[in-house]
Amino acid sequence: MPKTPSKGSKSSDSGDAGGSDDKFKLSNNRFISISSFRGRLKVDIREYYVNDEGKRLPGKKGISLSLDEWKKLKDYVDDIDGALKKLDSDASESDDE
C-alpha cells in the first residue's frame, strides 16, 4: 500500500504528534509511534488532540503494545482481513434482501 499524507505516512514534524521522529499518521488525530518505557520498546496507537496553544498532544485514548503483542497482531492481519471480508459480504447480502 503506498504511503499518503493522510494514511500511513511517517511524520517527523514535532507539531504533528508530540515530537518523536518515529510517528506514523493513521488519520487526522490518530498516530502510531515507537517508544521505550523502562527499557522496553513499545508500539503505541493513540489519539491526539490540539491544545489551546495549537500544540498536538497525546490523549487518553490509545493502546501500548509490547513487541511480542505487536508481532502477534501482525500475524493475525490476514485472518482479520478475511473476517472483515466475510462480515462485509454477509452485510451486503442482507442488504439485498
Over residues 21-35, the pLDDT tens digits come to 689 999 999 999 999
Domain 9-96 top-level CATH class:
mainly beta
- Walk across the sheet containing 30-37 and list its strands: 9-11, 23-27, 30-37, 40-50, 56-66
- 16 has pLDDT over 70: no
Over residues 65-91, the pLDDT tens digits come to 999 999 999 999 999 999 999 998 887
Residue 36 cell numbers, joined: 521505550
Residue spans per domain, the chain = 9-96
CA distance 93 to 86: 11
CA distance 28 to 47: 9
Q: Which residue has the cell 511480542?
A: 68
